[in-house]
Structure 1
């Protein structure tokens, strides 16, 4: 049976000249509505008016995912260009400026509750929904996926710059998102009743107002029969996203198969998982990662190889092994989004970075002198 998957991606809206965020969601939405390649519900607003989100239909293959992402990014790129801006596929805003919250009651309430956090939520993720048979299966898979989440963070890292300067982190998005009260790696649960009881207790504290504010890096969806993996920065290129979607689907299906066969979930103490997650966000694939199987530090490439070995049977069943392996080899050889961003800045400064960030949407040529208004430490 084919396990279906869907992908959501968030992008920034940047001024075509300066590269600073611009509050043009309404204009971009109107332009997107005129694009014949887009249908209703595929382009949605986000927390801040300089962001936009797309969602693929439910897909049965990686080819489908790739086709939809290219279609959606390309059409949205055209819509953004009509309003004088570009979409940027990066995990964090390279430059910051005042951006109002989207006019939605829930978002206004969040602004009242955590004003500075909302103001600085200029981060963009890639969420992968993988079909699960039921709620019990979702929790069983979550428990077995947990140890591998830091490896996903490192492989998907695409946010080294923030507010005009380097952060020293491969995934600054992971750090910013981790400031919310219920975020980061999820705890383990005894089953769906335990999950419901403990999340209800969180709601009773009043610290979060609804289940949508459960921002763990993996969680059962409240809307769909899926497990949602939220640990990934949005990717520079559609094919990078396809590689990660293939990894995530294989990781979840491997977890479901292990649970069905009666295998126990691997131990992953919360404090060690939190530390591994921080290290992954800090270094990406540039150094050592915490080995989720043996513990301790190992070179990142070896830990990624362990992940691929872990999910290889699932990738073979869907005929995705060669494609995903090639994508992983490309990350290791040519660099993750974070590494490619750094190289762009070293080679051509701000202008080269903005070119790179726009290329994933089909490319949007900069006018002469673009980026000149972005005085920064990016080179």
Structure 2
């Protein structure tokens, strides 16, 4: 928690595509080595991911959304340049649009090798990339309470962040195919309601004790308390096509967490939709994005996406005002509603020029607007 408000940080995962074919390329180690030579990057700022066709970056702790935007722009420019030097394109898309059918090698970590052994085909299909937004919380007690209050709005975040309509050379019919692929893990989707740290630990402990997951790191809910940082981590959205959309969602998530912290502190009533309804709402959001209705979490009934997003913005606005984020987040949401999510823009690119135009959209040359 910073002196001027709640701090935050953003992690982005990117896909590496062969510069010639557009197919996923297992050159993560070469990209990392090239990135270490970039003057604007510190050594080891580019991390590996499960598959060797992916890399991940993480901003420092930020107080202002402008800082988040500057850091993400720096990463995309520098890592994109490093990728080009080793024959790759850095793609900001939630799922690989093309595939050769060959399994990508996992990164050489024992944990990742074990995951392939235990869930072979599922690991092969993890050519998906998300954005993880970490928002500082005072302690586990406050974080668990804020998580319980953020929970009803997670499907709306899925819809806003949808950016993965293509997979294996075809249109999936979904706005966020990444959400569907990631939902195949045993612990995924919206988390159960938690009012406090004890309840949260009880839920997590029961899952680990079941033996179905190996450890707490395989809790893949759309939002969870981080085991590495004193943060509430929201993982509901695909990685975004552009920095502005990423900053919009990061600011909105901070506003939601801040709202949850405030409500919990004053004992406000809790909105607690049934888990089955949230599961269905999340699937629907992944299917349609903002192109149709969304499930209104306050009523459990369908409503126009614009109305549900408007209700979410209204709910978070007092906290957004406190951080001077209301104007930037509000304008960013209007752009997503009017201009379309990443999924809409990907489909427009495909219809306008096929896969070459789509690849230019999701993996632009560094410095391209």
TM-score over 0.5 (shorter chain): yes
In the alignment, which residue of structure 2 is the partner of 1:370?
none
In the alignment, which residue of structure 1 is the partner of 2:19?
16
Tell me, yes or no, if structure 1 residue 85 matches structure 2 residue 66: no
The 8 Å contact of residues 95 and 164 in structure 2, kept in 1 or not, is answered as yes
The whole-number CA distance in structure 1 between the counterparts of 2:38 and 2:148 is 41
Q: What are the Cα deviations for residues 28-50 of structure 1, in whole angstroms up to 9, with x where unaligned?
A: 01100101111134210000000
In the alignment, which residue of structure 2 is the partner of 1:205?
210
Q: Pick the aligned partner of 2:257 from 237, 244, 252.
A: 252
The 8 Å contact of residues 48 and 55 in structure 2, kept in 1 or not, is answered as yes
The whole-number CA distance in structure 1 between the counterparts of 2:115 and 2:211 is 12
Runs of at least 5 residues in structure 2 that lack an aligned partner in the other structure: none
Q: Pick the aligned partner of 2:236 from 224, 231, 249.
A: 231
Runs of at least 5 residues in structure 1 that lack an aligned partner in the other structure: 365-379
Aligned length: 364
TM-score by length of 2: 0.97
Q: Following TM superposition, by how much is the alpha carbon of 1:194 offset from its aligned partner in structure 2, in angstroms? A: 2.0
Q: Pick the aligned partner of 1:60 from 55, 60, 63.
A: 63
Superposition map of 1:270-349 within 5 A: 270-349=275-354
Q: Following TM superposition, by how much is the alpha carbon of 1:360 offset from its aligned partner in structure 2, in angstroms? A: 8.3
**4+ long deviations beyond 4 Å:** none
Q: What are the Cα deviations for residues 289-343 of structure 1, in whole angstroms up to 9, with x where unaligned?
A: 0001122100101110111111111111111111111111111111110000000
Q: What are the Cα deviations for residues 261-312 of structure 1, in whole angstroms up to 9, with x where unaligned?
A: 1113212110000000000000000000000112210010111011111111
Q: Following TM superposition, by how much is the alpha carbon of 1:88 offset from its aligned partner in structure 2, in angstroms? A: 0.2
The whole-number CA distance in structure 2 between the counterparts of 1:340 and 1:198 is 39
Q: What are the Cα deviations for residues 48-71 of structure 1, in whole angstroms up to 9, with x where unaligned?
A: 000000000000000000000000
TM-score by length of 1: 0.94
Q: Following TM superposition, by how much is the alpha carbon of 1:197 offset from its aligned partner in structure 2, in angstroms? A: 2.3
Taking only aligned residues, the RMSD between alpha carbons, in angstroms, comes to: 1.1
Q: What are the Cα deviations for residues 50-98 of structure 1, in whole angstroms up to 9, with x where unaligned?
A: 0000000000000000000000110000100000001000000001232
